[in-house]
C-alpha cells in the first residue's frame, strides 16, 4: 500500500509566522508531539514539542526556530512501510507526506501506521513478508510463485500497487515460512529489486531493527 492510499486523521500544519505557544496548543489539541511546518504549500520541515518547550520566548514566531526543523518526509508514491521506518527511526508521532514538488499533501499518524502494519502483515499468522519493486512488464505471478515454492514455501497473501506516474509495481508477499533468507537470496539472484523484508533471521536489512520494536509494541 502506498502512502497516498493510507487514510489517517487530518492534522493541521504550522506556518512560519505562527507563534510558538499556538504551535504547542495545536499539538496538545491533536494529541501529537510533532507537526509539519509549511510556507504556503511548500513543506519546510517538522517541529517537535520538545524543541518548542525549550524556546525562551513562546511569543516568538516559528521562523526563529528553523534550525530545529527536521526535513524527514515520505513521498506519496512510497510504500507505507517507509513512513513507518521514518517514524520509528526518528521517534516521530507523525510523518509528513509530500508530492514531487515537495508540497505537503497529508500527515500520517504513528498510531495509524502501527494499526495498518498489524493488519497488513497479519502478525498473528506466522510467516515472512517480502516487498518487491519492478516495472509492470516484468511482473509475473507464475515466476514469483515458482521462486517461493522452490524454497519450500507457499504464498499466503499477495498484494500489488502501481504508481500511476511511473508504472512501477510494488508487490507485497506474505509467505508461510518465517525464515526467508533463502527466498530473498533467490529473488536477488534473479535480479529482483527487494525493497523490504521481514522474517526471523537477523538480516542486514535497513528495517530489521525497527521490526522487533514494532512486534513488541503490537503484542502489548
Same domain, 74 and 139: no
* Last-in-domain residue among 87, 116, 145: 116
CATH code of the domain in which 95 resides: 3.10.580.10
Query: In angstroms, rounded to a whole number, what is the distance separating the alpha carbons of residues 96 and 123?
Result: 26
- DSSP bridge pairs for 46: 36, 70
With cell 503484542, the residue in question is: 219
Say what the pLDDT of residue 70 is: 93
* Last-in-domain residue among 116, 144, 177: 116
Same domain, 8 and 84: yes
Helix, strand, coil share (%) of the chain residues, nearest 5: 35, 30, 35
What is the tens place of the pLDDT at every residue in 5-36? Answer: 776 778 999 999 999 999 999 999 999 999 99
CATH code of the domain in which 171 resides: 3.30.70.260
Domain carrying residue 135:
122-218
Low-confidence spans in the chain with pLDDT less than 50: 202-208, 220
Same domain, 109 and 193: no
Same domain, 83 and 49: yes
Say what the pLDDT of residue 23 is: 96
Say what the pLDDT of residue 203 is: 42
Same domain, 128 and 153: yes
Say what the pLDDT of residue 165 is: 79
Strands 168-175 and 155-162: antiparallel
Same domain, 133 and 110: no
Domain count, the chain: 2
Pick from 8, 85, 71, 77: nearest CA to 39: 71
Same domain, 16 and 95: yes
Between vectors from CA 176 to CA 172 and to CA 178, what angle results, nearest 5°? Answer: 90
Same domain, 84 and 160: no
* Last-in-domain residue among 90, 116, 142: 116
Same domain, 11 and 70: yes
Same domain, 95 and 73: yes
Say what the pLDDT of residue 197 is: 83
Scored b (16 or more CB within 10 A) or e, 137-169 reads: eeeeeeebeebbeebebebbeeeebebeeeebb
Same domain, 14 and 112: yes
Same domain, 85 and 161: no
Pick from 76, 200, 206: nearest CA to 129: 200
Say what the pLDDT of residue 123 is: 53
Strands across the sheet containing 94-98: 74-75, 94-98, 104-109
Amino acid at each position: 500500500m502506498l502512502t497516498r492510499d493510507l487514510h489517517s486523521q487530518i492534522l493541521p500544519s504550522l506556518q512560519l509566522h505562527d507563534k510558538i505557544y499556538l504551535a504547542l496548543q495545536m499539538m496538545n489539541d491533536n494529541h501529537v508531539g510533532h507537526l509539519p511546518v509549511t510556507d504556503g504549500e511548500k513543506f519546510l520541515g517538522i517541529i517537535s514539542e520538545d524543541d518548542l518547550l525549550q524556546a525562551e520566548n513562546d511569543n516568538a514566531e516559528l521562523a526563529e526556530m528553523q534550525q530545529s526543523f527536521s526535513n524527514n518526509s515520505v513521498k506519496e508514491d512510497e510504500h507505507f512501510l517507509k513512513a513507518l521506518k521514518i517514524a520509528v527511526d526518528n521517534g516521530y508521532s507523525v510523518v509528513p507526506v509530500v508530492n514531487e514538488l515537495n508540497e505537503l499533501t497529508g500527515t500520517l499518524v504513528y498510531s495509524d501506521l502501527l494499526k495498518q502494519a498489524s493488519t497488513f502483515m497479519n502478525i498473528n499468522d506466522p510467516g515472512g513478508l517480502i516487498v518487491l519493486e519492478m516495472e509492470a512488464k516484468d511482473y509475473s505471478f507464475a515466476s514469483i510463485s515458482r521462486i517461493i515454492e522452490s524454497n519450500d514455501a507457499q504464498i499466503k497473501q499477495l498484494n500489488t500497487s502501481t504508481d500511476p506516474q511511473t508504472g512501477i509495481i510494488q508487490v507485497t508477499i506474505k509467505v508461510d515460512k518465517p525464515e526467508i533468507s533463502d527466498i530473498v537470496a533467490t529473488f536477488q539472484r534473479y535480479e529482483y529489486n527487494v525493497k523490504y523484508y521481514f522474517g526471523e533471521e537477523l538480516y542486514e536489512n535497513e528495517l530489521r531493527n525497527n521490526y522487533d520494536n514494532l512486534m513488541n509494541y503490537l503484542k502489548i
